[in-house]
Chain A
């Protein structure tokens, strides 16, 4: 049986003056899946998310959330959305509990259930013992957990997470991954933008790579790797001129390569002999990864 997608984005365009931030973008996200949006700074990820919440207008195309059109039925769409914005917008001077209670009210959680959902969210965010602390006194990681807990408070059908773990230490990040994984497993559809390859690989069933406001590749991490980077890569280290030479030779042999500082990765090497690779110098072999795909397609390195 074929379901309507949870999120259907059709040929959507957004211009800011002369600048086109989102450029005829089309994207479907199936119910119950987690989509990772990978893209360099300025690719249009946040703009796309704001279009879904009706906070940025469309210059063309259409978007629907569970069949609610975001232009004509924005309120209905927002009532089933959960949002974790890139830029923290909590009320600093209010406590964690007050922020959540306010959110429950704004999201029209029935009055009789508010106390419970607030308690649950505090539990999820592991902030039950800090619930009376003003947000301004919470650490960056705690704030982020609260922001994420807030996004789930209305039992949304689709959650939008805009770089949910940006700028956090690995411990906090893996706490947040647990939170995200839990909602994902409960069948909620997730759209998550990120700069962290590991985050995408751990959480996303499906990846869309965005650049200049367009989707330039789409598939499971496995598919993307095989399609664009092959199965295996070898890495060479050395001074720039040596690396230049290796790049040229690899290209001659029909192989793609990518540079990162003082190393070069030659991709899809399962297709060539190990003698050829050895002739280029000492190297180490590894499976290809999403980062290879990302850099090949966008020409930009990722942080993290």
Chain B
């Protein structure tokens, strides 16, 4: 196994940048619209009945949670679909691996690009919540970083899934069995404290939960030493899914 060479990454980003320049309106539209729909529909709709949660306006609670929705959608899905299409339909990865680039560099290059993009998309719902009563503060500047490390693990997860399935239609199983629970058992739309105790324990393995915790603590100025645990958990998640992704894709791409 060749040592990881960071000099391979700019070329991977170049490819993504070329594609992005062409498709950014569509990509950006969906990435931003979906979480905003959640924010308005649920935040204002349910907010009309529920006044406050954990001492904050419901719309603010959901608005900060929608950051994680945006992160999940704009990382896991490109991880799954883009990777599958490039590998299976276009054979682009086959070409790339005949140059001095390794599978690990290819996957990390793709994931860092998608995560950087997600750092931007993820921050949009937060900004959109400001007019509804979220007061700006300096620690909010940490949110893009939180989005980035969360997206890293989730993109790797998407890549891993794309390597596991045989046909692209199988993605829907993962969507309903894995991604939807990740989203709902994370504290996006209601606090986990309302669920049975064991959910609290389970949520510790849910990266979306750690993402939301960090985002809310950054937005409300409640960051503390225990936030380090959230960062660490997201880091561990990325290492685990990254390893899985690279292993699986190597098996698929190197015969």
- What is A's interface to B at a CB cutoff of 8 Å? 16, 50, 53-57, 74-76, 78-79, 81, 83, 85, 87-94, 98, 101-103, 105-108
User: Is the CB–CB distance between B95 and A89 below 8 Å?
Assistant: yes
Which size class do B's interface residues fall under? 20 to 34
User: Is the CB–CB distance between A107 and B99 below 8 Å?
Assistant: yes
B164 interface residue (CB < 8 Å to A): no
User: Is the CB–CB distance between A78 and B98 below 8 Å?
Assistant: yes
- What is B's interface to A at a CB cutoff of 8 Å? 2, 5, 7-8, 10-11, 14-15, 18-19, 22, 90-92, 94-102, 253-255
User: Is the CB–CB distance between A55 and B100 below 8 Å?
Assistant: no
User: Is the CB–CB distance between A78 and B99 below 8 Å?
Assistant: yes
Q: Contacting A91 at CB < 8 Å: which of B2, B15, B102? A: B15
Contacts of A83 in B (CB 8 A): 98
Contacts of B19 in A (CB 8 A): 91, 93-94
User: Is the CB–CB distance between A89 and B101 below 8 Å?
Assistant: no
User: Is the CB–CB distance between A75 and B5 below 8 Å?
Assistant: yes
Listed residue (B11, B14, B98, B102) with the most chain A CB atoms within 10 angstroms of its CB:
B98
A to B contact number (C-beta, < 8 Å): 72
User: Is the CB–CB distance between B98 and A93 below 8 Å?
Assistant: no
User: Is the CB–CB distance between B94 and A85 below 8 Å?
Assistant: yes
User: Is the CB–CB distance between B95 and A90 below 8 Å?
Assistant: yes
Closest CB pairs A-B (n = 6): A105-B11, A89-B95, A89-B91, A106-B99, A79-B100, A83-B98
Contacts of B90 in A (CB 8 A): 89, 91-92
Tell me the minimal C-beta distance from B22 to chain A in angstroms. Answer: 7
Q: Which residue of chain B has its CB nearest to the CB of A73?
A: B2
User: Is the CB–CB distance between B100 and A75 below 8 Å?
Assistant: yes
Contacts of A50 in B (CB 8 A): 255
Taken together as a complex, chains A and B put the C-alpha atoms of A101 and B15 apart, in Å, by: 9
User: Is the CB–CB distance between B254 and A55 below 8 Å?
Assistant: yes
User: Is the CB–CB distance between B94 and A105 below 8 Å?
Assistant: no
Q: Which residue of chain A has its CB nearest to the CB of B91?
A: A89
User: Is the CB–CB distance between A106 and B96 below 8 Å?
Assistant: yes
Taken together as a complex, chains A and B put the C-alpha atoms of A103 and B94 apart, in Å, by: 13
Tell me the minimal C-beta distance from B204 to chain A in angstroms. Answer: 39
User: Is the CB–CB distance between B99 and A89 below 8 Å?
Assistant: no
User: Is the CB–CB distance between B94 and A55 below 8 Å?
Assistant: yes
Contacts of B10 in A (CB 8 A): 105
User: Is the CB–CB distance between B2 and A74 below 8 Å?
Assistant: yes
Taken together as a complex, chains A and B put the C-alpha atoms of A53 and B92 apart, in Å, by: 15
Taken together as a complex, chains A and B put the C-alpha atoms of A89 and B19 apart, in Å, by: 16
Taken together as a complex, chains A and B put the C-alpha atoms of A79 and B7 apart, in Å, by: 13
Using known A-B contacts A55-B255, A56-B254, A108-B7, determine if residue A89 contacts B14 with beta carbons closer than 8 Å: no
Tell me the minimal C-beta distance from A187 to chain B in angstroms. Answer: 22
